[in-house]
Chain A
Amino acid sequence: MNELINGILLGGLYAAVSLGMTLVFGVMRLVNLAHGEWVIGAAYFSSVITSRLGLDPLTSLVITIPVVMVVGYVIQRSILNQLLLRGSEPPLVATFGIGIVAQAVFTLIFTGNVKSLDAGWASTGVSIFGETVRTAFVICFGVGVFLVVLLQIGLTRTSFGASLRAASEDPEAAESIGINVRHVYALTMAIAAAISAVAGVLIGTTFSVTPLTGLNWLVVSFTVAVLGGLGSPIGALVGGLVTGLVQTYTGALLGANYNNLVVYGLLVVALVLLPRGIIGRKSM
């Protein structure tokens, strides 16, 4: 029972972590290898704000989100957009380079030590169906589901979502009907950065980060996105739940030492057996 509840709650967090990656892939067919750095970078940035201004980590997002959105927009506009025209490998390698720079900058500013965000709700527990779980997990789940629903509605019910989908389906046709595809791509990256920032703050509060944990979150995000079908927000939730449940159950079976090992194994299995995800859709 405990594994079931924890797995589901963790799944919500995993969905939130993976959402930004799946959005970027859905719109521009690019997997951001710096996605993990996007996520933990926000956690690092928020840690500065929380300690300087004494804000709750979630409140600090009011400042963090606009900042990461600008960073995401500028990087997409100045570096990645022009590389996307050259095929799939150049932008991929560029995101790898961005990740390297980010890792190094994190280490320079925050050292290689473990860092976590302080919040009153981080260490308390709450009772669900008679099982005590961490309040942080419940918040992670709530926020994760909220983000998935928000993104899904944004993509399918708003005119901006329509232009995103148009740019995704056929960039040239979208351009010809007056959609500024470069701007749309950059906004997509900005939104992905904002979502990842929320996920990063949740991770920083619930767990902790080091400059190299971005790589682990890259793999987790990709596992979740692949399980759910890359490019689908609802798929990210499904993939998150599957990953969370597999992890908690095998964790109970094998011991916590094998937690990460299980996710990596799951990724390889998912990639080989379910290249199109559980739901089996590839477009948005």
Chain B
Amino acid sequence: MINRGPSKLFPKRSTIAGGAVAVIVLIVAFLGPGYLSQNLINLGTTLFTLIVISQSWNLIGGYAGQFSMGQSMLVGLGGYATALILLNSAIPIEWAVVLSGLVAAVAAAIFAVPVLRLRGVSFSIGTLALALAVQAWMVVWKFGGRTIGLNLPELNIRLATQYYVSLTVAVVATVVVAVVAKTTFGLRIMAVRDDEDAAKQVGVNTFVAKFWAFVLSALFAGVAGALILIHNPHIEPRGAFDFNIAVTAIVACVIGGLSTVVGPLIGTVIVFVIQQAFLSYGEYAKVILGIVMLVVILVAPEGLWGLLKRGGPPLMVSTRRILHVRGRSRPKVTSPLD
């Protein structure tokens, strides 16, 4: 991913194929409201919002290598910000969504000062503590409606509009991740991920690199929170800060492939399909997802997308042969620690 070597005059065949698939998927998705039932448009909206959260976690947990357990908090803050803005001001809804992203980003910038000093598991549990603290605070905060939360008046936004908005944000989040992966900023956070001390020694300001990854991640998480609220105009602390939001994003990224652009997309679709299939069976989906995640960690540490790209199971090998891409040298992505 990192060292593509000198740029070639013609893009790789696999790149063209990938681009074609992406365009087709996008066209199919954008035409969705034309042929999908109300129920499916509804599900699509939720799926795209989940993709936004997954990609937002992918930035901090994947590319920057900081295993955050506080993503629910950022999503919840975005939701509360939207609710409070809409209830207490005349700001139009589209600006409220953007502002909510900024609120989450500013909150992350403040939280970053203590928690980004922490490394490894200390950061993980530090962010979990923050998430639980914010949730505990919301339960007693009068202005936020305590345990009852806040109810918005009817927003009257067409379902198709919600669908397009969520889809657009999901596309933007994915494009941002793809762009970040190619920039020097992306290289810096990946250097931090691979070896923070080494990164520091070659002159990377590791705090600043992690800071912007965290803030950018929070921006998208906050917007996702706003989208969830618009979809269902009621918010209360238990649902808004539900730890399962973070779980879904983390599982999706790990299953699909951390630090890849496509992996979290695949992962989120898999997670969402399993969740929907077992909707009426309680927590079975979570059991299955947890086990799938463990299997992926054990068998395919680079995730399903990594497995596909590497050649993966025999079926894929034959596909690669058909596409004449076999034998093309691929840059090895290894960390200096391996």
Interface residues of A (CB under 8 A from B): 31, 33, 79, 82-83, 86-90, 92-94, 96-98, 100-101, 103-105, 107-108, 212, 215-216, 218-219, 222-223, 226, 257-258, 260-261, 263-265, 267-268, 271-272, 275
Whether A107 contacts B291 in the complex (CB less than 8 A), given A31-B121, A267-B125, comes out as no
In-complex Cβ contact of B298 among A82, A107, A218 (8 A): A82
Chain A interface, DSSP helix/strand/loop, else mixed:
helix
Q: Are A215 and B128 in contact (CB under 8 A)?
A: yes
At the interface, yes or no: B284 with Cβ under 8 Å from chain A?
yes
Contact between B122 and A97, CB atoms less than 8 A apart: no
Q: CB-CB < 8 A to A100: which residues of B?
A: 247, 251, 286, 289-290, 293
* 0/1 interface trace, chain B 109-127, chain A, CB 8 Å (1 if under): 0000011011011101110
Chain A CB within 8 A of B261 CB: no
Contacts A108-B287, A268-B114, A272-B118 given; does A92 touch B132 at CB 8 Å: no
**Interchain nearest-CB distance for B235 vs A (Å):** 19
CB under 8 Å from chain A, chain B span 4-44: none
Q: Cβ of B118 and Cβ of A271 under 8 Å apart?
A: yes
Would B286 and A272 count as touching, CB distance under 8 A?
no
With both beta carbons as reference points, the residue of chain B lying nearest to A226 in the complex is identified as B122
Q: Is the CB of A219 within 8 A of B129?
A: yes
> What are the nearest 10 A-B pairs in CB distance?
A104-B286, A101-B290, A264-B133, A100-B290, A104-B283, A31-B121, A264-B129, A97-B293, A107-B283, A104-B287
Complex partner residue of A101 from B115, B121, B136, B291, CB under 8 angstroms: B291
Partner of A272, one of B114, B137, B287: B114
> Number of residues in B with C-beta < 8 Å to the partner?
43
Q: Confirm or deny: B256 has a beta carbon within 8 angstroms of a beta carbon on chain A.
A: no
Identify B284's interface contact among A31, A108, A267, CB under 8 A: A108
**Complex Cα–Cα for A33 and B254 (A):** 16
B121 touching A92, Cβ below 8 Å: yes
Partner of A108, one of B128, B283, B301: B283
> B residues within 8 A CB of A226?
122
The residues of A that contact B284 with a CB separation of less than 8 Å are 104, 108
Contact B128 A89 (CB under 8 A): no
CB nearest neighbor in A for B251: A100
Encode contact with A along B250-265: 1 for CB under 8 Å, 0 otherwise: 1100100000000000
> Judging by beta carbons under 8 Å apart, are A93 and B67 in contact?
yes
B272: Cβ under 8 A from any A Cβ: no
**Contact across chains for B125 and A219 when beta carbons are under 8 A apart:** yes
Contact: A94 with B136, CB < 8 Å?
no
Binding site for A on B (CB under 8 A): 65, 67, 69, 114-115, 117-118, 120-122, 124-126, 128-130, 132-133, 136-137, 139-140, 243, 247, 250-251, 254, 282-287, 289-291, 293-294, 297-298, 301, 337-338
Most buried by B among A86, A103, A104, A222: A104
Q: Is the CB of A108 within 8 A of B290?
A: no
Chain B positions within 8 Å of A265 at CB level? 133
Instruction: Given A88-B120, A258-B140, check contact A264 B294 (CB 8 Å).
Output: no
With A216-B132, A267-B125, A271-B126 known as contacts, the answer to whether A97 contacts B243 (CB < 8 A) is no
Contact of B136 among A98, A222, A223, A261 (CB under 8 A): A261
- Asked if B124 contacts A33 (CB within 8 A), the reply is yes
Contacts of B250 in A (CB 8 A): 93, 96
* CB pair A31 B140 closer than 8 Å: no
List 23 contacting pairs A-B, 8 Å CB cutoff, sorted by A.
Answer: A33-B69, A88-B121, A93-B67, A93-B297, A94-B298, A97-B291, A100-B247, A101-B287, A103-B286, A104-B287, A104-B290, A105-B287, A107-B286, A215-B132, A215-B243, A216-B132, A258-B140, A265-B133, A268-B129, A271-B114, A272-B114, A272-B117, A272-B118
Please name all residues of chain A whose beta carbon is closer than 8 Å to the beta carbon of B124 when the two chains form the complex: 33, 92
Whether B282 and A108, one on each chain, are in contact in the complex, defined by CB atoms closer than 8 angstroms, is yes
In whole angstroms, how far apart are the Cα atoms of A236 and B338 in the complex?
33
Q: Are A86 and B290 in contact (CB under 8 A)?
A: no
CA distance A260 to B338 in the complex (A): 40
Tell me, in angstroms, the Cα distance from A271 to B128 when the chains sit together.
13
A33 to B121, CA, bound (A): 9
**Chain A residue nearest in CB terms to B281:** A108
Q: Which residues of B contact A258 (CB under 8 A)?
A: 136, 140
Closest A residue by C-beta to B294: A97
**A94-B290 contact given A89-B65, A261-B137, CB 8 Å threshold:** no
A94 in contact with B294 (CB, 8 Å): yes
Distance, CA A245 to CA B43, complexed state (A)? 49
Give the CA-CA distance A271 to B126 in the complex, in Å.
Answer: 8
Name the residue in A31, A218, A271 with the highest tally of chain B Cβ atoms < 10 Å from its Cβ: A271
Residues of A within 8 A of B137 (CB): 261
User: Which residues of B have CB within 8 Å of A94?
Assistant: 294, 297-298
